[in-house]
């Protein structure tokens, strides 16, 4: 097939670039994760599987568990917040639908650090969140927000909730509104209509949203760095410390590899369902 071979050549520049700068480096991370450090702290190759037993050391295991726990809490909150919002926009947004969705994305273009830093100002001891209850007389102004797990999880929700709203909105928007009317015509209660009509129809979108929030949340280190403290550090902070500070690159590489392998399961799952949806979408469009 001449056309196919002609097109095949276009795969080369981008494909080779991604091989060289994306696939090969992952291999280097794997190789160094079995290495050790020389006297000056530089990484040298070798066979030291002990880096991996150290990852699951009782000192570090709580950090891994905490990262997964925070990420799961973030996913749950994003779903609880994102689904109703996406539903509102898809069903009642009318002509303003596109504007409302664009507004969900706009905050992503304020630098993540600056946004998180604004939350530091709001949640600090003299901040807005303490000032208002104090002025109204609800508290003595002594609520501690910063350095708590909820501040870190809140920062993650704020950072990634758009990744939940967009795919759920996409699924709800594609759903025929007549399905909801039909549910009502059949005397379904609101909950029954949701449970038996909306939820199954939009489930793929919900799954996509959950994975898209979970993946970056597990690896995040900015939220814990700025809104939390040593008690709330996540695996991202641990990895960052190994490369800047502790200078134990092989251990940092082992942590990175473990995290990547753990997340790979979710990535594969997401990519497969996205590919399936694309095929079905293409088939339906024909």
Partner 1 sequence: MSVEAPVRPDAAPAPRRVRRSSDQAREFDRPRFLVGFTGLFYLFLFLPIAIVVLFSFNAERSLQVFGGFSLRWYDAFLSSESYRSSLTASIEIALVTMVVATVLGTTLAFGLVRSRGRTGGAFNVLMLVPLVTPEIVAGVSALLLFTQMGLRLSLETIMLAHITFSISYVTVVVRARLAALDPEIEAAAMDLGATRMEVMRLVILPALWPAILASGLLVFALSFDDFVLSFFTTGESPQPLPVRIYSAIRFGVTPTINAIGTLMLAISVIAIGLALALPRLFGRRESGLGVLLGEEGA
In the region spanning residues 26 to 65, those forming contacts with partner 1, defined by CB under 8 A, are 26, 28-29, 32, 43
Residue 149 in contact with partner 1, rule: CB under 8 A: no
4-23 residues near partner 1, rule: CB under 8 A: 4-15, 17-19, 21-23
φ and ψ of 236, to 5 deg = -60, -40
Q: Closer CB to partner 1, residue 174 or residue 196? A: 174
Q: Closer CB to partner 1, residue 31 or residue 148? A: 31
What's the min distance (Å) between Cβ of 98 and partner 1? 5
67-86 residues near partner 1, rule: CB under 8 A: 81, 84-85
| Number of other residues whose CB lies within 10 A of the CB of residue 120 | 15
Asked whether the beta carbons of 225 and 119 are under 8 A apart, the reply is no
Residue 277 in contact with partner 1, rule: CB under 8 A: yes
Q: Closer CB to partner 1, residue 9 or residue 38? A: 9
Q: Closer CB to partner 1, residue 3 or residue 59? A: 3
Structure tokens at 85: 């919002």
Given candidates 34, 112, 160, 251, which one binds partner 1 under the rule CB under 8 A? 112
What's the min distance (Å) between Cβ of 150 and partner 1? 14
What's the min distance (Å) between Cβ of 53 and partner 1? 20
- Cα gap 93→80, rounded to integer Å: 19
What's the min distance (Å) between Cβ of 179 and partner 1? 10
Segment 125-130 long-range contacts (CB within 8 Å, at least 24 positions apart)? none
Given candidates 158, 160, 233, 251, which one binds partner 1 under the rule CB under 8 A? 158
Residue 183 in contact with partner 1, rule: CB under 8 A: no
Residue 279 in contact with partner 1, rule: CB under 8 A: no
Residue 141 in contact with partner 1, rule: CB under 8 A: no
Instruction: Kindly write down the DSSP assignment for every residue of the chain, as one continuous string.
Output: -HHHHHHHHTHHHHHHHHIIIIIHHHHHHHHHHT-EE-TTS-EE----THHHHHHTSTTTHHHHHHHHHHHHHHHHHHHHHHHHHHHHHHHH-GGGHHHHHHHHHGGGGS-HHHHHHHHHHHHSTTSHHHHHHHHHTSS-S----TTSHHHHHHHHHHHHHHHHHHHHHHHHHHS-HHHHHHHHHTT--HHHHIIIIIHHHHHHHHHHHHHHHHHHHHH--HHHHHH--GGG--HHHHHHHHHTTS--HHHHHHHHHHHHHHHHHHHHHHHHHHHHHHHHHHHHH-
Residue 118 in contact with partner 1, rule: CB under 8 A: yes
Given candidates 69, 122, 133, 241, which one binds partner 1 under the rule CB under 8 A? 122
Residue 221 in contact with partner 1, rule: CB under 8 A: yes
Q: Closer CB to partner 1, residue 61 or residue 110? A: 110
Q: Closer CB to partner 1, residue 5 or residue 57? A: 5
Residue 159 in contact with partner 1, rule: CB under 8 A: no
Residue 98 in contact with partner 1, rule: CB under 8 A: yes
């Amino acid at each position: 097939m001449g056309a196919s071979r002609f097109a095949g050549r276009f795969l080369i520049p981008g494909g080779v670039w991604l091989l060289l700068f994306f696939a090969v480096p992952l291999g280097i991370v794997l190789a160094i994760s079995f290495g050790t450090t020389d006297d000056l702290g530089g990484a040298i190759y070798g066979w030291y599987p002990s880096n991996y037993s150290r990852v699951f050391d009782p000192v570090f295991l709580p950090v891994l568990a905490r990262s997964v726990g925070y990420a799961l809490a973030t996913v749950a909150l994003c779903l609880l917040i994102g689904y109703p919002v996406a539903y509102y926009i898809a069903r009642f947004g009318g002509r303003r639908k596109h504007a409302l969705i664009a507004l969900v994305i706009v905050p992503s273009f304020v630098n993540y650090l600056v946004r998180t830093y604004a939350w530091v100002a709001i949640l600090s001891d003299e901040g807005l969140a303490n000032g208002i209850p104090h002025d109204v007389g609800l508290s003595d102004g002594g609520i501690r927000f910063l350095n708590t797990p909820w501040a870190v999880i809140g920062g993650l929700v704020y950072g990634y909730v758009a990744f939940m709203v967009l795919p759920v909105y996409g699924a709800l928007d594609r759903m025929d509104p007549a399905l909801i009317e039909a549910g009502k015509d059949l005397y379904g209660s609101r909950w029954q209509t949701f449970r038996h009509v909306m939820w199954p129809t939009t489930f793929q979108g919900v799954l996509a949203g959950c994975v898209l929030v979970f993946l970056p949340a597990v690896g995040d280190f900015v939220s814990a760095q700025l809104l939390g403290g040593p008690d709330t550090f996540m695996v991202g902070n641990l990895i960052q410390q190994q490369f800047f500070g502790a200078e134990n690159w092989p251990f940092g590489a082992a942590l990175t590899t473990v995290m990547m392998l753990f997340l790979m399961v979710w990535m594969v799952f997401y990519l497969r369902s996205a590919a399936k949806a694309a095929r079905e979408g293409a088939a339906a469009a024909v």
